[in-house]
Structure 1
């Protein structure tokens, strides 16, 4: 007698923004539980900022989330989350998260979700694909926390595959992937790997060559490890304790917003509320 399959959650969200004489407005919206999209009232001087909410409270093995964000020419918008995403222990199947970002010519998108916490035994496959038109700008951040560190838990079992693909005008600009399985404890402890870090953070700025260079220099002046992976693409990575990594990301994002993107020097309100 076969055992019944557990019920799984498959959330979907689609967002489309366009530029109008009134500024950037939402033109397309679709969402399916457990993924919901909310729109907090923007702060003065801010563009629209959408919040992706997982109303299920977390993700288990076999669950999936698919998000697609499209910005038309010259639009300016952002996407964040109201809290950390939790990936629970999986019995067998992986949790899958897929994100597709399409940024039109001269448009600016901020992709600023809060951290993802991998519980002991979590199995996560996450992919982010971004297609940038000429003159488009993307500021993207991702954070991973390896276990429930507030409870003293460290990730030693499970798996992670986290892949990024960024294309500009149809040509590959950057590709990166992180894979963890097998001896996860050893990989996280390795001095030339994660060096015992509780968390990792990645901040990416894809913009004009002068803007990316300015972003790198701005972060370096403030003590961040930032580099130009190639002209027009700046990367900054953080490793360390979960709270210090989050604090570092929270300091770097406003610097880039004000110093490069011409936006107010502050975090999305949901990061601090």
Structure 2
């Protein structure tokens, strides 16, 4: 990254600080149209990655607080970026929108700065988070997010859409906790609505949708969550996993870890889905890490 040493610091009408930007980004300015009272509560993030001189670089970035593009690191010809936030978490009433585009041939790995915390508001308002990812032909996107932590009374409506072109590769892994168990807050949040939609080559390939409202029913029933308090999904699409028997190997590995229950299956010859749940943090995070290693071969 030695050729891109300009660090941008900007007002609400330009780029946010905290990343090294290539010169091509200097020409792009996006207007912040938020009212003053909305700053920090309503925000959008835009990231575009592309190939320049044989390497993946960030060609466009716009972030309204509390979004903050973190540092990036070269990984071969690809790029690893840590997405950060200047806020202690997501609060009821927040409206957050993020858009990520990975252009043809680019290779990007995104991770979170830390486990996102979901906080309640005094009014009981719902936080709304909308995320859009576009992966062009020949591109690769890997996202491994830390498990979200809902606090007592928190209310979240989250929608994620991933559009993967033919010939592109995707690895996606997200997770959530049942609450701050050590503080006696297991299943104490108000509600979480979640939708994950994956489209491949213009067709719907996977849809995960649920709404959890602990006050409506007991989630500790053996046929629902049982003793588990950690839950996750991992998806691999495209050439990121094509080895015969991969799903069976992942399935066997998961069920050999004490305190973890999971399953893996293929939707077609190049799309694998993993669902897992755990009783405690250490075995659950070990299982997620091993799934990532097996499906990305890294």
Whether TM exceeds 0.5 here: the answer is yes
* In the alignment, structure 1 residue 248 sits paired with structure 2 residue 287: yes
Report the equivalent of 2:4.
Answer: none
Residue of 206, 220, 229 corresponding to 2:267: 229
Specify the alignment match of 1:271 in structure 2: none
Does the 8 A contact of 1:116 with 1:143 survive in 2? yes
Give 1:64-143 correspondences, 5 Å limit. Answer: 64-90=95-121, 91-143=123-175
Partner of 1:24: 56
Instruction: Find the residue that maps to 1:33 and give its secondary structure.
Output: coil
C-alpha distance in 2 between matches for 1:246 and 1:235: 17
Q: After the TM superposition, which of the residue ranges 59-68 and 18-27 deviates more from structure 2?
A: 18-27
Maintained 8 Å contact 1:99/1:128: yes
What residue number does 1:35 align with? 67
For the residues of structure 2 that align with 1:255 and 1:228, how far apart are their CA atoms? 14
Shift of 1:114: 1.0
Query: Could you state the TM-score of these two structures normalised by the residue count of structure 1?
Result: 0.85
Distance 1:48 1:237, change over 3 A: same
Hey, what does 1:262 align to over in structure 2? Answer: none
Distance in structure 2 (CA, Å) of the matches to 1:223 and 1:181: 28
Which ranges in structure 1 are unaligned for 5 or more consecutive residues?
259-264, 266-273
Larger radius of gyration: 2
For CA contacts below 8 A with separation 6 or more, give which structure has more relative contact order. Answer: 1
Residue 179 of structure 2 aligns with which residue? 147
Q: How far does the alpha carbon of each residue in 1:24-67 deviate from its partner, in whole angstroms, 9 at most, with x for none?
A: 11111111101100123345x37211222121111111013221
Further displaced range: 86-95 or 175-184: 175-184
Distance 1:209 1:12, change over 3 A: closer
Aligned residue for 1:141, secondary structure, equals: strand
**Is residue 257 from structure 1 mapped to residue 296 from structure 2 by the alignment?**
yes
Q: C-alpha separation between the residues in 2 aligned to 1:154 and 1:241?
A: 12
Question: Corresponding residue for 2:87?
Answer: 56
**8 Å Cα contact 1:71-1:103 kept in structure 2:** yes
Structure 2: where are the runs of 5+ without partners?
1-36, 256-262
Offset of 1:228 from its aligned partner? 1.1
Aligned counterparts of 2:177 and 2:254: Cα–Cα separation in 1:
22
Question: Cα deviations across residues 43-95 of structure 1 (Å, max 9, x unaligned)?
Answer: 5x372112221211111110132211111111100111110000012332111
Alpha-carbon separation, structure 2, partners of 1:209 and 1:99: 22
Conservation of the 8 A alpha-carbon contact between 1:47 and 1:76: yes
The 1:248–1:210 alpha-carbon spacing in structure 2 relative to 1, beyond 3 Å, is closer
Q: Do the aligned partners of 1:87 and 1:117 also contact (CA within 8 Å) in 2?
A: yes
